[in-house]
Structure 1
Amino acid sequence: MNSLKLFALVFGLLLCFNCKNKNPKPNSALASIDFLRGDLLLCGDGQFGELKFSLSCDYETRETFDLAVALLHSFQYNESEKAFVKVIDADPNCPMAYWGVAMSIYHAAWFPPSEEDLIKGSAVLKIAKALSMDDKQRDYINAIDAFYTDWKTIDHKTRAKRFEDKMEAIHLKHPEDIEAAIFYSLALFSTRDRVGKDYINERKAGKILEGLFAENPNHPGIAHYIIHNYDNPTLAQKGLETARRYASIAPSSAHAQHMPSHIFTRLGIWEESINSNLQSTESARCYAEAAALSGSYFEELHGIDYLVYAYLQNGDNKNAEEQYNLIKQRRTFHPTMLTAITYPLAAIPARLALENKDWERATNLELQDIELDWNKFPWQEAIHHFAVALGAANTKDFNTVEKKIEILKTLYQNLIAQNDKTKAIQVKQVKIQIITAQAWLSFRGNDLENGLKLMQEAVDIERKTSKHPVTPGDVLPAIELLGDMLLELNKPEEALAAFEENLKDRPNRFNGIYGAAIASKQSGNIDKATLYFNQLIELTNGINSERLEIKEAKIFLEQAI
């Protein structure tokens, strides 16, 4: 790790201020705060983009401060906090360094901070507010303080909106301040409608960021947040150019290597998604080694989840299985982001079974044995039980289906009981799973009319529900399952309409294209069947796939000549 040693030396020199020793008075309150400290663990050549944030304090700390902000923009939260703490240690009277620590533990785009983090953030800001500062610094401090104030009695969503309002005020007051605009766009993303598909905040934030990107082409935050705001079927095309640039802007960030794959996944560009995540997982393993983590780093699991999804869409079961084999025996994980740990561990084995319609495998799935309590993650656990329920329905193990539906209902109620508005999309997705499982229980039990009615109900909810940002996609879309059901009911025209609707939001899905080809064939539309079977062959070109659907496509095309 020569680059790590180099950076340790560089930062040691940066913070050794022999030429300007102010001998700041120690603040006893600092000793009570459990700051993250230590050498910055920066893999690769340490490039995280370019920016200059003029609100840092001592001139000698500015390079460190700007690096901390760059790390913050690429969600390298532990390292950004350590870098801000280096500034505090060198200049404890710098209010913006405390702002940086509070921002590093907010995780605006991810999930609500823990109680421990909220206590810590409040304590950090209490120190900051007692320091001397100019009006602009005070505005920044007050903005993040609006999120931490009264956290015991005011819900996360309300406090996040207060932060957004404060950042908007700073942005309007200082339109020349690039960072104010960027952090305002991040605040807009954090308060977006997480369930619906109007994407009001995402469009507003995207417009701000696009206006900044041309003059700031190497800024990591601008590129990163454009991708987050456009990570949906409606806006994804607007983020493609940025996705192809972000990794080169911050090549030392595992997250920056991964994020472009969100856009590639939305657009069905599987090879670029695969390449993005191969680089990301390698960078994540580098970080885990450098940090001497006792468990796997969450970015590796997150990247592998996207890798498995992409490989499956290419019909490449072999590489999908190999990626799963890397993690399926692991038990300990670095809990920076528990959602991004537990979701892949539930979703990956479910995908491998369901995407291949391997119902026996799905029925026999078991939750991975990990050093985390699955009961604390009802949304993630529900994915497992949903997969087993679908497998059991299709093998006519109706007792198991009924048991799994009851478990899903309990998990659904557990999510509702949490009364966490940031998990609204999780609640919706579990509801879709319950109705879908009930639909296939009825359908396989020969109550065809009720099965179809329930499946259509699940699709109606899915149409109004956005994708969770941590996921590459549902383990099986309800609209795709509706298409399968309609095919079995000998309604190929309706099935084709379902599959084509599915492909509009989820382009280049293997099962979506295959379903559209079969529906076209059964409805007598040979031209469309030829089109879709050719797409399936093109999708899997160069892959030594054993999927039977590809063999079927080749036979059809040979006979159609």
Structure 2
Amino acid sequence: MKTHPIILTMSILLCCTTGKKNDEQLKSELAAIELTRGEITLCSSGTDQFGTVSFSQSCSEKTRPDFNLAIALLHSFEYTEAEKVFVKVIDQDPQCVMAYWGAAMSNFHPLWSPPSPTELEKGAKIITLARSIITDKESRESDYLEAIATIYDQWNTLDHRTRLLKFEKASQALYEKYTDDDEAAIFYALALGAASDPTDKTFQKQKKAGEVLNKIFENKPTHPGIAHYIIHNYDYPELAALALPAARKYASIAPASAHAQHMPSHIFTRLGLWDESIQSNIASVTAAQCYAQKSGIKGHWDEELHGLDYLMYAYLQKANDEKALEQVRYLQTIKEVFPVNFKDAYSFASMPARYALERKDWAAAASLQPEPSDFPWEKFPWEKANIYFARILGAVHENKVNDAKKDLEQLKALHAALVQAKENYKSNLVLIQVKASDAWIRLAERKKDEALTLMTEAADMEDATAKHPVTPGEIIPARELLGDMYLQTGNPQRALQVYEEDLKRHPNRFNGIYGAAVAAQKSGDAAKAKQFSEQLEALAGQGNKRVLLVGL
């Protein structure tokens, strides 16, 4: 069968006019995407303050310094600034596929909350445009792009967890295909951490990530991503000691990053190194305040609030209540934050709750309210739950059992909302609080056996669940509360055992040591009573008001 000459002519025309878009076409389509543009915001003397990255890619040579800077920013989770620089690279070289990949990565933030619908739509548009300029589907650039595309393809039909696992698989394929590409290895380690199961106590993926990173750390000691991801993947009581060298190095690798100043405190907190945590977060808060001012953020940046929570937690463990109160009072002056997200919500809820409960100010705990009152708390049920958990513990200890029961219903409603939203991890965290709250209410009703059973269940559940990265620790560890309950019910020997168990997971916690000291004294164990009393003095100093209350 012969082809009609007109059809043949049309086929030739289509063949020759379709294909890779030219720069002007790309710039026109880019203008329709709300990309973050502008000069990078710096609180330091130069762009070399974010670490050393050398990423081999096929874009124009003149863009290489900016591209490497953007990668360094990306590795320290400075997502807004990273996107600015990737967009600058695109403007200079619209055919640079890897810059589109970077812009898409900047909207992903894998270890934080899932991308918003706006970010997902934006990322999908970036991926679509980048695909239109790829001529070699087997190229390294195409493979990188298709890896991040797993987060944006079908984002409105596939759940985030499913897409995250696809990203991990694609990142593994990159790692195995490009064995000489250290960046592929580093991003694979990030993907492993992001896709890890918080209930997996074998830490299979985290350990694998650590192996990958440690193999290249010695040869790239100033690379920001390696140190950063070692900290994240080892941010567990069982693994934290392995990350201490990286934690003590990361801040000096990327001194201009507020997040890099803060991240070491995750490990310092896990190991009870409170002085180092305090210094880390003072630096982080200062850097965050500088960034907010210089970038023109209206209100307070979320990184500042995140650092404040860790800072106050460390002050409380040293029984430095005056400094802790300074952070709470400062928090109360904050009325506007950017962006409005889970980090802000958590700090707003946790800081006043911690300040009351750690000092056993039960009346203050019972009277807590979600503040600021105009904050969109309905969007953050897990974070809000911490306020009601503190209220319940405060009310029970103030012998206001009916008030505690009313607040327990509120806590259960927040749990139900998380279940309905299929937020399985967060709903489990609130369920632990529900069980612990119910336990203390039953103890107040003289149902000791039921109370101890429920409190033990809560402690076992919490031990089997990793804490959320946003928090330095549970509002009060459930096993520490179990120790308190045994002590209150006249079983100091068992209380001492429980406190010692909990201190293995939460070393140098003031109230854990305090409880162990009292339990040892009441058990007649003079040696341990002396040991824990000396630990308290070493932690908080002689003459500290809270130390003196032990009376040993």
| Residues 121-200 of structure 1: pairs in structure 2 closer than 5 A | 121-132=123-134, 135-200=139-204
Secondary structure, in 3 states, of the residue corresponding to 2:456? helix
Give the drift of 1:446.
Answer: 1.6
Are the counterparts in 1 of residues 312 and 351 from structure 2 also a CA contact under 8 Å? yes
The aligned counterpart of 1:505 is 505
Q: What is the CA-CA distance between 1:331 and the residue it aligns to?
A: 1.7
- Pair 1:505–1:56, CA change in 2 (3 A): farther
| Equivalence for 2:337 | 333
The equivalent of 1:551 in structure 2 is: 548
Counterpart Cα distance in 1 of 2:38 and 2:468: 34
Contact map agreement 1:313 1:510 (CA 8 A) in 2? yes
CA-to-aligned-CA distance 1:401-433 (integer Å, 9 cap, x gap): 11111111110010011124xxx3311110011
Aligned partners of 1:77 and 1:104 also within 8 Å: yes
Tell me what 2:24 maps to.
25
RMSD over aligned CA atoms reads 1.3
How far residue 133 of structure 1 moved from its aligned partner, in angstroms, is 5.2
Question: 1:359-415 CA deviation, whole Å, 9 max, x = no partner?
Answer: 001011111125531011000000000100110011111121111111111100100
Question: Is structure 2 residue 383 aligned with structure 1 residue 388?
Answer: no
* Residue number in structure 2 paired with 1:356: 359
Structure 2 contact 76–228 (Cα < 8 Å) conserved: yes
Match of 1:49 in 2: 51
* Distance of aligned partners of 1:56 and 1:49 in 2 relative to their CA distance in 1, 3 Å threshold: farther
Q: Is the 8 A contact 1:281 1:304 kept in 2?
A: yes
2:208 — aligned with what? 204
**Equivalent position amino acid for 2:366 in 1:** T
Contact 2:51/2:253 (<8 A) preserved: yes
Which residue in 2 is equivalent to 1:68?
70
1:282-361 equivalent positions in 2, closer than 5 A: 282-335=286-339, 338-361=341-364
Deviation of the 1:86 alpha carbon: 0.3
Q: Which position in structure 1 is the counterpart of 2:283?
A: 279
Query: What does the per-residue CA deviation read over 1:264-318, in whole Å, with 9 as the maximum and x for residues that have no partner?
Result: 0000000000000000000000000001111100111000000110000000000
Matched, 1:435 2:438: no
Retained in 2: the 8 A contact 1:499–1:512? yes
* Contact kept in structure 1, 2:150 and 2:167, CA below 8 Å: yes
Which residue of the other structure, out of 209, 212, 217, is the alignment partner of 1:213?
A: 217
| Unmatched segments (≥5 aa) in structure 1 | 1-22, 557-561
Aligned equivalents of 1:286, 1:195: Cα separation in 2 = 37
Q: Find the counterpart in structure 2 of residue 38 from structure 1.
A: 38
Contact 1:480 1:498 in 2 (8 A): yes
CA displacement 1:121-155 (0-9 Å, x = unmatched): 01001110111355111110111112211111111
Q: One-letter code of the match for 1:198?
A: T
Match of 2:380 in 1: 377
Task: Supply the distance in 1 between the matched residues of 2:293 and 2:536 (Cα, whole angstroms).
Answer: 40
TM-score, normalising length: structure 1: 0.92
Contact 1:26–1:92 (CA under 8 A) maintained in structure 2: no
Going from structure 1 to structure 2, the CA distance change for 1:56 and 1:267 (only over 3 Å counts) comes to farther
Out of 77, 89, 92, the position equivalent to 2:91 is 89
One-letter amino acid of the counterpart of residue 53, structure 2: L
Contact 2:348/2:372 (<8 A) preserved: no
Stretch deviating more after TM superposition (161-170 or 327-336): 327-336
Q: Is residue 2:242 matched to residue 1:255?
A: no
Query: Which residue is 1:529 aligned to?
Result: 529
CA distance in 1, matches of 2:489, 2:462: 22
How far residue 458 of structure 1 moved from its aligned partner, in angstroms, is 1.1
Q: For structure 2, list consecutive stretches of 5 or more residues without a partner in the other structure.
A: 1-21
CA distance in 1: counterparts of 2:95 and 2:54, whole angstroms: 20
- Is the 2:312–2:324 Cα contact (8 Å) retained in structure 1? yes
Q: Distance in 2 between matches of 1:348 and 1:545?
A: 22
1:364 and 1:294 map into 2 onto residues whose CA distance is 31
* Mapping of residues 402-421 of structure 1, within 5 Å: 402-420=405-423
TM-score (norm 2): 0.93
Using the TM superposition, name which of 309-318 and 28-37 deviates more.
Answer: 28-37
Partner residue, 2:5: none
Partner of 2:9: none
Distance 2:366 2:524 in 1: 35
Are the counterparts in 2 of residues 95 and 133 from structure 1 also a CA contact under 8 Å? Answer: no
Selected match of 1:245 from 228, 249, 259: 249
Structure 1's 409 and 552: CA in aligned 2 closer, same or farther, altered over 3 A? closer
Q: Secondary structure at the match of 1:326?
A: helix
Q: What SS does the aligned partner of 1:527 have?
A: helix
Q: Which structure has the greater CA radius of gyration?
A: 2
For 1:207 and 1:185, locate their aligned partners in 2 and report how far apart those are by CA, in whole Å: 9
Instruction: Work out the CA distance in 1 between the residues paired with 2:58 and 2:415.
Output: 46
Q: Which residue type is aligned with residue 462 of structure 1?
A: E
Amino acid in structure 2 at the alignment position of 1:179: E
Please give the alpha-carbon distance, in whole angstroms, between the structure 1 residues aligned to 2:418 and 2:263.
Answer: 28
Identity over aligned residues, as a percent?
47
Paired residues, number: 526
CA distance in 2, matches of 1:146, 1:381: 32
Shift of 1:25: 2.4
* Aligned-pair CA distance for 1:203: 0.5
Residue type of the partner of 1:105?
A: N
- Cα distance change, pair 56–535 in 1 and its aligned pair in 2 (3 A): farther
Partner of 2:445: 445
